[in-house]
Amino acid sequence: MKRILLKFVVVSTMLLALLPVGAAGKIGSVNLNVVLKTAVTAEVLKALKGHGTVLTVYEELDAVTMKVKANKVALIATLPFVEAIGEDAERNGAPIDTVLATDFGDGLSTWNLDLINVTDYWFDNRQVDYDGTGVYVAVLDTGLHDSWRKYFPEERIAVEYAKSFGGGAGEVARVSTQPNKWEHDQNGHGTHVTSTILGYSLGDTPVNGVAPNVTIIPVKVLNQNGRGWSSVIAMGITYIADLKLNELKDYPVVINMSLGGSALDPIEKAAIDYAIEAGVIIVASAGNNGTMGMGYPGAYEPVISVGAAGWQEEWTIFHPDYRSSWWYLLDPSEPTPLDQIYISDFSSRSISDEQDLDVIAPGSWIVGPYQLNSGNKTSYYFLGGTSMAAPHVAGIVALMLEKNPTLSASDAEDILEVAAIPLAPGSKQVFNPSLRVWEEISWGDDATGHGFITADAALAGTPLVP
């Protein structure tokens, strides 16, 4: 069935607004994403092939990817059946920084889960009545390590739905499926993101997660360098939307995308709209560009976007008075200590009306499994980035959906925005673990969205199914 998802018409005078700077003036070939006003018929394909090579067809989105000569771009934009075009856009899922975590001892509650009121200090520490049972969370990322079974219970990973997509601009151009590559990741980003949602095993000791009873669908859309293309992201989103319309029609489904780039690509936008129409709720990181502004798809309004915050006490291990403490012994005070929360300096600000920043969650120095090569060994790192903040909120949304599986994407976003605790502009002294010095971090109201979100507040605002 035809779905008109984009409501603007592209003409040649608008190319510079849709394509990255310089794309319209390139020489040589361009990888172009084309969204149509009509279905992808044989006649449309024939017409498009007259202007370049059609690489991948997205039937659900009424869209294609093409490789065309740069001097053909303006002509393609004016074809009567073309809705929107954009050059395939690079996406990056890398954290802003990493620090090796060692000497873990017993794995217990983590400060970041305590700060959002999912757990409290020590064992038997769940503070909410929900754990994500019956909810699927698709993690569109780099996939999982070979050693994922050492970190996660097998029954929590939906291997029957796990998928890997590759290609896109700069590679083989065509978007294709890569069998089993999802569980041979050498980057580590996707495993770390998954661990925040699900929790993980530290030797024989379980470490809590935001929603430890969800079922994770790993979807690899980023390569071993943590990078990818919007055409591949769109294929991953579409794949999950189709699952929601078919095999998972009776289950709530969330997508977490801890990734982003500088512009919203039309085919990516079409995929997001298609997934939300199918009933999927999408959470994405705001980006690690600080005052340079938000990344996409996080900045796109229907997506629940998440900026990153930290807690002033998170590095007390390095303070001379706290040498006996470590990450699992840190215990934020109750209620949520707003006077100790800061906005991470890397967290992207909403610098225009077109950028929609929704909520803030912990994203500064989150502990989790992380490896930079293949193999069956295990290692753990602190990672900092809005990539680490987004899965906190994806997990909270899973808890909300367990309580009320009928929530739509707009319902969930509204509840989160109302439940968030407003954060005022300010400055905080924050310890830098790399330099071993205290630094002042400042932020304005463009960095806070609707405020800091906690699980208990989000659940309190979620109505039970009548």
Both 26 and 103 in a single domain?
A: no
Q: What is the CATH number of the domain that holds 78?
A: 3.30.70
Confirm whether 170 is domain-assigned: yes
Both 187 and 38 in a single domain?
A: no
In this prediction the pTM is 0.86
Please state, rounded to an integer, the average pLDDT across all residues of the chain.
85
Annotated catalytic residue within 62, 145, 147, 189: 189
More confident residue, 304 or 333: 304
pLDDT at 259 over 90: yes
Both 79 and 100 in a single domain?
A: no
Do 193 and 263 meet the contact criterion of CB atoms below 8 Å apart?
Answer: no
Both 44 and 176 in a single domain?
A: no
Annotated catalytic residue within 141, 358, 446, 456: 141
Both 210 and 285 in a single domain?
A: yes
What torsion, rounded to 10 degrees, do the Cα atoms 79, 84, 86, 90 define? -150
Annotated catalytic residue within 387, 392, 446, 456: 387
pLDDT value at position 378?
79
With pLDDT > 90 as the criterion, what percentage of the chain qualifies?
A: 59
Both 77 and 111 in a single domain?
A: no
pLDDT at 217 over 60: yes
Q: Which domain holds residue 364?
A: 92-460
Catalytic annotation present for 387: yes
Q: What is the CATH number of the domain that holds 118?
A: 3.40.50.200
Both 139 and 256 in a single domain?
A: yes
Confirm whether 1 is domain-assigned: no
Q: Show which of 48, 71, 87 is a domain's final residue.
A: 87
Both 216 and 352 in a single domain?
A: yes
Do 398 and 360 meet the contact criterion of CB atoms below 8 Å apart?
Answer: no
Both 97 and 83 in a single domain?
A: no
Confirm whether 456 is domain-assigned: yes
pLDDT tens digits along 82-134: 999 988 888 877 565 544 444 333 336 788 999 999 988 766 678 899 999 99
Catalytic annotation present for 141: yes
Catalytic annotation present for 29: no
Confirm whether 7 is domain-assigned: no
Confirm whether 204 is domain-assigned: yes
Q: 51: exposed, middle or buried (C-beta count within 10 Å: 0-12, 13-18, 19+)?
A: middle
Domain count, the chain: 2
Both 235 and 212 in a single domain?
A: yes
Q: 1: exposed, middle or buried (C-beta count within 10 Å: 0-12, 13-18, 19+)?
A: exposed
Confirm whether 2 is domain-assigned: no
pLDDT tens digits along 415-465: 999 999 999 999 998 877 767 778 899 999 999 999 999 999 999 999 998
Confirm whether 3 is domain-assigned: no
